[in-house]
Homo-oligomer: A and B are copies of this chain.
Amino acid sequence: MNQILTPTGAAGPSTPALLKVLAGQSLAKPPIWFMRQAGRYLPEYRALRATAPDFISFCLDPEKAAEATLQPMRRFAFSAAIVFADILLIPGALGQDVRFEVGEGPKLGTLPPLETMRDQIEASTGRLSAVGETLSRVRAALEPERALIGFAGAPWTVATYMIEGGSSDRTGARTYAYTHPEALDGLIDILVEATAFYLIMQAKAGAQVLKLFESWAENLPEDLFERLVIGPHMRIIEKVRAAGIDAPFIGFPKGAGTLVANYVAKVPVQAVAMDVQASAAFGRQLQQTTAIQGALDPLLLRAGGAALDRRVEEMLVQWGGGPYIFNLGHGILPDTPISHVEQVLARVVGS
């Protein structure tokens, strides 16, 4: 079952709304933030990004990453900031070559031997200390009533990139799960450890909430989902708790369908982020034991208009009675008009 934690600072007068909801409260106006709210739809982001030689350097430059994190917070009444970083920083820190080519997805080099990576687990977090510095800078600049979220890619999702060498339809990685079960489990174990260290470091540096992005939870049969998603998420959270970190967790098993029920029954997250498919009834069922987040369609946000207003209203009505965090079901698209973001905020937060 899910433990509802009362995180440090969740009781003061300036307690962020996000932390209240993650402690199990239902708020008349739900907190709101958007996945990829720091990103290419903002002209100030594009200008900032142009000052860095490549995407990884940009993520690991605390001054620039903190500025990227804060840009949407200046423009919009978002309830939370999420540290600007990438889920593929960990493979890089473990010794696999990771590059982002302009206009293409990430390209990863040959997967290093497991033993080599295993020796790098502790050092990998040190190599990502810039993310900690970004968090400290953002926390210092952000109003106390706005929460700061740290995150990591979940092991299976990160493993799919490491195995396939980039973005893929994951059939190679899923086949690998069947044909090389021990090698995959070994890789997942390394990622569990490295991710736990990384999240502990983020919490110590100022992250008040920790999110696990399992972006590729789709198309996994139940046995693989238990082995590759549920188990690793449980072990990460256990390790983070063992380090004395009580920051609430948001789990995002994207595309997991009915297996999300398995997930919330076993993984002690304080909220589950839902993808665009989330039905009203299923979300309410989840709210019996956990807070929920989501799940506006980014394509509808981009399209805008009266249909957007209607859908936002529907979501507020169907889920607003329980612990609910307003968000998209997937990241905001680069060509989303800023006025549409303002339109949603006006409806959710009011003016």
* CB of A277 closer than 8 Å to a CB of B: yes
* CB of A303 closer than 8 Å to a CB of B: yes
* CB of A56 closer than 8 Å to a CB of B: no
* CB of A100 closer than 8 Å to a CB of B: no
- A277 close to B257 (CB less than 8 A): yes
Given A218-B218, A223-B311, A311-B223, answer yes or no on A278-B258 (Cβ-Cβ < 8 Å).
yes
Contacts of A222 in B (CB 8 A): 277-280
* CB of A261 closer than 8 Å to a CB of B: yes
A180-226 interface (Cβ within 8 A of B): 181, 218-225
Contacts of A178 in B (CB 8 A): 297, 299-300, 303, 305, 307
Contacts of A179 in B (CB 8 A): 303
* CB of A98 closer than 8 Å to a CB of B: no
Contacts of A262 in B (CB 8 A): 279, 281
Interface of A is mostly: helix
* CB of A116 closer than 8 Å to a CB of B: no
Contacts of A351 in B (CB 8 A): none
Residue interface mask A238-275, B partner, CB < 8 A = 1: 00000000000000000111111110000000000001
Q: In the assembled complex, how far is the CB of residue A78 from the closest CB belonging to chain B, in whole angstroms?
A: 22
Known: A174-B299, A221-B300, A221-B311. 15 other contacts (CB 8 A): A174-B297, A175-B299, A178-B300, A179-B303, A218-B255, A218-B277, A220-B277, A221-B329, A224-B297, A256-B257, A257-B257, A257-B258, A258-B260, A261-B279, A262-B279
